[in-house]
Structure 1
């Protein structure tokens, strides 16, 4: 368990800090799948401009925030419900950084004890760490009584990372810029996903580096593509078959070139009944869209039995963004 002393006195606190009356707050936030991801060339800051469509899936991260004991007042501590050596518990964890950033912005000095229950695959391209950060912002905002609006929390979320704002919003949304400028998107119906996980993650920077190397040989456009009208129409109609035809990920070729076995997983998922399978975000998780729950179960069973994957998780979508529970 780590300790990080909160820094008081943010430069532009939106309002004076208030003492909250709660002792414990529990918040859930969803993982995501990218239905569409188009990347342009990197800018001067090294970041790629993106156009992406996020959908929040029912793989839920849970953050429980508790008031610190008197002898730890003013510190931020973090623990895991299920210890995982791949998840840091020090100041590098995005949830710890989220609490520290909120404390800095609002002048809070109380500190907090965070407990994470993780259900999103770690380093799987599904923004589990970003969901932790989003949930922490909501939880600490309530625990400390700082009263920031969702719009204000979204600003802080974008400062923490490009994927952090979306778990706050949830449902389905288009992301522009680095993916952090969000516009909600109408989506009817329920979509049934299977996520094939790998024991070893893929580094997002490494995938983008390979994407850039491949783009040099293919005259890739400098700007990302717009979201196809066919995709937004499929979502409005609640038509999974039409949506499957529009799924796209510019990073898939790069991820597969780094991990060729991903192509075999995609082929097996589609042969088992998935309407379409693709790399989720920067990978290595494979997202397979099924037409119904029964087919999703069949695809998951086939993937599990194949020995190609560590696990196969079923989840429906879209779901709400970060919210207090209990």
Structure 2
């Protein structure tokens, strides 16, 4: 590890994500389902500031901070410990997380924290690991963490960690209807198993989805959006169905549950219409929080760092 120049602070930002398409296959012997997914990173993000410390610690602020444990179970803390072990680093770190992605909302906010922590600690400790090596560590932390590192738009297979970047032209405008009470991913899949006792053996992504992404046309993308977990999430959280009912009478082109829910994402044709849809949701009072975001967004990236000789 190169320690010739120390960084007193490293600030990394990582995106939350939407699942534009999610196809679910049967569960394997390990309980994990085979998935075929199209991810898109969006502009609702997590910030992690890493500073040198004697031990590895974490603290959280932001709208969702009260839903996160600031201990060794925190995924960002686990990411730092994993990187320290892999790189032979003995220096500690304090990770200050600002949470903006809903907890338990199906947008992989915890995975974004982990990705940001990996990159921030890598830069702070100057481990010299290649981005590919960080990707391997990310996969050990969870299926969604590698995508939070890369961002953009991607197709994911298997558990969701076998990523292939997807060409997506244009900028897409999304409205998020967020419920304060999250959903357990495990419970949603259990409900899906109950509803679908004979699933498709090998889920796949249709060519029409890729063509829509390449076109950059939100109207074409709206035609191919779909999440197999919609019905399961709606059964467990009826508020999901209420949000979708309001969106059905709005100018939204389409809507779907984000990941395992309960966040509902609506695709708008442009930014002014997204703002109109967001106001419709707020007026209807069917969501606890409403956000307007864009995608695709970049993956985990350095925002600022200050060298000691420049401080």
Partner of 1:271: 249
Partner of 1:9: none
1:33 aligned to which of 7, 14, 18: 18
Residue 35 of structure 1 and its aligned partner are, at CA, apart by 0.5
- Asked if 1:57 corresponds to 2:42, the answer is yes
Residue 307 of structure 1 and its aligned partner are, at CA, apart by 1.4
- Asked if 1:79 corresponds to 2:64, the answer is no
Distance 1:325 1:270 in 2: 38
Matches within 5 A, 1:4-43: 17-19=1-3, 21-43=6-28
Residue 215 of structure 1 and its aligned partner are, at CA, apart by 1.1
Matches within 5 A, 1:146-295: 146-216=127-197, 219-224=198-203, 226-295=204-273
Q: TM-score, normalised by structure 1?
A: 0.91
Distance 1:296 1:96 in 2: 36
Partner of 2:84: 103
1:297 aligned to which of 265, 272, 275: 275
Gaps of 5+ in 1: 1-16
Give SS of 1:287's match.
Answer: strand
Partner of 1:8: none
Residue 199 of structure 1 and its aligned partner are, at CA, apart by 1.4
Q: Which digits, 9 at most, give the CA deviation of each residue in 1:224-281, with x for residues without a partner?
A: 2x21111111111101001011001111111011112311211211311110011110
Distance 2:61 2:232 in 1: 34
Distance 1:195 1:239 in 2: 20
Partner of 2:294: 316
Q: Which digits, 9 at most, give the CA deviation of each residue in 1:267-318, with x for residues without a partner?
A: 2113111100111100000000000111101110111111111011000110
Q: Which digits, 9 at most, give the CA deviation of each residue in 1:157-212, with x for residues without a partner?
A: 00000111101000000011110110000001000000100011000000000011
Distance 1:46 1:300 in 2: 37
Give the length in aligned residue pairs: 302
Give SS of 2:66's match.
Answer: coil
Residue 18 of structure 1 and its aligned partner are, at CA, apart by 3.4
Give SS of 1:221's match.
Answer: coil
Give SS of 2:259's match.
Answer: coil
- Asked if 1:114 corresponds to 2:99, the answer is no
Residue 85 of structure 1 and its aligned partner are, at CA, apart by 2.1
Distance 1:315 1:115 in 2: 24
Residue 92 of structure 1 and its aligned partner are, at CA, apart by 0.8
CA RMSD of aligned residues (A): 1.0
Partner of 1:10: none
Give SS of 1:201's match.
Answer: coil
Residue 81 of structure 1 and its aligned partner are, at CA, apart by 2.7
Q: TM-score, normalised by structure 2?
A: 0.95
Preserved CA contact (<8 Å) 2:65 2:99: no
